[in-house]
């Protein structure tokens, strides 16, 4: 399998596409820029969906669904919003063979249609806060696409909430950012940096946008989830008002926040190696694969019943296990196949193991002999695998964190040093910043690096901006990004 995957150091982009193909996560659709998500890839998305949905409901949110088609006039009500999305819109002008009186936009995001709906649902302070999420598809007409990371159509969730005050809405915005970070760290084993977006990078129509930023295996950044405080912008555009306790009519303060199928791409790029996927056990469609080893019918008669016994034991312990019963391929082929698919634990059982009442465990996060444990008792195999899954989950997070720290430059003194680091080392550059929006745009044009965020945990104190020479306490993280 590995020979069909380009090594990362040779061509990282090709490696990514090879893994997507060979692990059967997705494939290109007949329409350029769209993808067919295959069952193995969709199961990963289901793990994202389920992990987030559980957290949303625990924080008081409920799910609903809003229309795919949005009247063009709705987008035009919020000037910054329509300007930001205009280049990406897919617009329907003919329906049922007739020219439509008003063009319909295929949903790029739902602030407008939901704002219209909220204006009818909200009347009094008793209706607030309104906490709703939807799971949906959206369409954005991208020119340069890549499976999971950037496609014309993608799947996501988008939360939309309405509040009585700015303080409550900002609290909600940051609460959902924390929810995203908790999911990324504890489920996807991806260390993320929480931060505020710059004016140039914020969501069109937002007062403030917040993000979780992750470092991929090649040092590039990926915006992995965003949460936006929209202020009264959409409330004024769509007349979302409520009567307060003093019977005074007030505008609501709204938020929106989303995570998409690009999280699947993040899992691939953060954890994958030259053999293919390495999946965090919490997310893995299959947590343990059982590979029986035999050379003939006599060996098979001995090994197969024990392999089935192990499968029952693992499934009974709540472990997502699969017995590989294929007899048209060799055990070696199976080893490589499941390694490429990122299954965290492999259970090997041969005739000698059966005689000894043991199995061999191989962990995907550690290569070769280092990752193998022999002599695991059959009676204790479920407990051993469960312990190993917990170790692997922590190991992948630790490895990803160490990679990020090793590829982060803390502080630069000049623009020339900044550019040299980008070209020679890459990764994140965490440094003081006092530049203007125009300065930021110029750096993006000249280096392809953007301000990924102003980290919320910044405690560097006062320093000198590498670009302007001004003293500032503001810290920014620059990187090239997907």
Distances (CA, A) of 373 to 314, 348, 364, 385: 17, 10, 12, 11
**Domains by residue range for the chain, with CATH:** 2-271 (3.30.930.10), 288-388 (3.40.50.800), 408-479 (3.30.110.30)
Count Cβ neighbours within 10 Å for each residue of 436-450 and write b for 16 or more, e otherwise: eeebbeebbeeeebb
Helix (H, G, I), strand (E, B) or coil at 4: helix
What one-character DSSP code corresponds to residue 371?
Answer: G
Please report the pLDDT score of residue 87 as a whole number. Answer: 85
Identify the residue whose tokens are 């919020």: 78
Please report the pLDDT score of residue 3 as a whole number. Answer: 62
Tell me the pairing of strands 345-349 and 288-292.
parallel
Please report the pLDDT score of residue 80 as a whole number. Answer: 75
pLDDT in tens, 464-477: 999 999 999 999 99
Identify the residue whose tokens are 């980290």: 455
Please report the pLDDT score of residue 419 as a whole number. Answer: 98
d(CA 237, CA 235) in angstroms, rounded, equals: 5
pLDDT surpassing 70 at residue 181: yes
Q: How confident is the model at residue 143 (pLDDT cuts 50, 70, 90)?
A: confident
d(CA 110, CA 107) in angstroms, rounded, equals: 6
Contact criterion met (CB below 8 Å) for 220 and 480: yes
In order, the DSSP letters of 165-181 are: SHHHHHHHHHHHHHHHH
Burial of 129 (0-12, 13-18, 19+ CB in 10 A): buried
3-class SS string, 118-130: HHHHCCEHHHCCE
Beta carbons within 10 angstroms of residue 267's beta carbon: 30
pTM of the model: 0.95
Close Cβ partners of 79 (under 8 Å, ≥ 6 residues apart): none
Share of the chain above pLDDT 90, in %: 94
pLDDT surpassing 60 at residue 2: no
Beta carbons within 10 angstroms of residue 365's beta carbon: 25
Mean pLDDT in residue range 11-35: 97
pLDDT surpassing 70 at residue 455: yes
- Strands in 232-287 per DSSP E: 241-243, 249-251, 253-260
Please report the pLDDT score of residue 421 as a whole number. Answer: 98
Contact criterion met (CB below 8 Å) for 180 and 225: yes
Distances (CA, A) of 421 to 339, 426, 445: 34, 6, 17
Tell me the pairing of strands 62-63 and 450-455.
unpaired
pLDDT in tens, 390-425: 999 999 999 999 999 999 999 999 999 999 999 999
Adjacent-strand bridge partners of 35: 28
What one-character DSSP code corresponds to residue 12?
Answer: H
pLDDT surpassing 90 at residue 353: yes
d(CA 398, CA 191) in angstroms, rounded, equals: 9
Question: If we measure between CA atoms, which residue out of 16, 465, 2 comes closest to residue 266?
Answer: 16
pLDDT in tens, 73-98: 998 887 776 677 788 999 999 999 99
Please report the pLDDT score of residue 1 as a whole number. Answer: 46
Alpha helices in 199-344 (DSSP H): 233-238, 262-271, 297-316, 331-340
77-86, 94-103, 303-312: range with lowest mean pLDDT: 77-86
Contact criterion met (CB below 8 Å) for 222 and 216: yes
Q: Torsion angle, CA of 339/266/282/4, rounded to 10 degrees?
A: -10
Distance between the two ends of the chain, CA-based, in angstroms?
27
Distances (CA, A) of 442 to 21, 102, 421, 449: 37, 39, 17, 10
d(CA 431, CA 418) in angstroms, rounded, equals: 10
**Element of type H or E holding 324:** none
């Amino acid at each position: 399998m590995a020979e069909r995957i380009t090594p990362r150091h040779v061509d990282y982009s090709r490696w990514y596409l090879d893994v997507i193909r060979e692990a059967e996560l997705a494939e290109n659709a007949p329409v350029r820029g769209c993808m067919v998500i295959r069952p193995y890839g969709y199961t990963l998305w289901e793990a994202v969906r389920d992990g987030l949905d559980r957290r949303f409901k625990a924080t008081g949110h409920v799910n609903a669904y809003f229309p795919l088609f949005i009247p063009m006039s709705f987008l035009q009500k919020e000037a910054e919003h329509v300007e930001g999305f205009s280049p990406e819109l897919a617009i329907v002008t003919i329906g049922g063979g007739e020219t439509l009186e008003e063009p319909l936009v295929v949903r790029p995001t739902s602030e407008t249609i939901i704002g219209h709906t909220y204006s009818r649902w909200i009347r009094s302070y008793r209706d607030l806060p309104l906490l709703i999420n939807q799971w949906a598809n959206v369409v954005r007409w991208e020119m340069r696409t890549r499976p999971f990371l950037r496609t014309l159509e993608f799947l996501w969730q988008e939360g939309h909430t309405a509040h009585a005050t700015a303080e409550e809405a900002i609290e909600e915005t940051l609460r959902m950012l924390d929810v995203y970070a908790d999911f990324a760290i504890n489920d996807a084993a991806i260390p993320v940096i929480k931060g505020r977006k710059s004016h140039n990078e914020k969501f069109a129509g937002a007062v403030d946008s917040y993000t979780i930023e992750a470092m991929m295996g090649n040092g590039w950044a990926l915006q992995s989830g965003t949460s936006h405080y929209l202020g009264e912008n959409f409330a004024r555009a769509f007349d979302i008002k409520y009567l307060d306790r003093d019977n005074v009519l007030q505008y609501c303060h709204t938020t929106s926040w989303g995570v998409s199928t690009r999280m699947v791409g993040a899992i691939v790029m953060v954890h994958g190696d030259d053999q293919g996927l390495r999946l965090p056990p919490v997310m893995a469609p299959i947590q343990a694969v059982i590979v029986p080893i035999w050379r003939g019918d006599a060996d098979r008669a001995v090994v197969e019943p024990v392999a089935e016994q192990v499968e029952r034991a693992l499934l009974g312990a709540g472990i997502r296990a699969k017995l590989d019963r294929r007899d048209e391929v060799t055990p070696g082929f199976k080893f490589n196949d499941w390694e490429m698919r990122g299954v965290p634990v492999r259970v090997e059982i041969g005739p000698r193991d059966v005689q000894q009442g043991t199995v061999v465990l191989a962990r995907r996060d550690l290569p070769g002999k280092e990752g193998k444990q022999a002599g695991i008792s059959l009676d204790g195999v479920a407990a051993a695998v469960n312990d190993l899954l917990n170790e692997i989950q922590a190991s992948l997070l630790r490895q990803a964190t160490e990679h990020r720290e090793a590829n982060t430059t803390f502080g630069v003194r000049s623009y020339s040093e900044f550019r040299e680091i980008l070209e020679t080392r890459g990764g994140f550059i965490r440094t003081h910043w006092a530049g203007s929006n125009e300065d930021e745009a110029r750096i993006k044009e000249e280096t392809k690096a953007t301000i990924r965020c102003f980290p919320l945990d910044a405690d560097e104190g006062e320093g000198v901006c590498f670009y302007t020479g001004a003293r500032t306490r503001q810290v920014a993280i620059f990187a090239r990004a997907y």
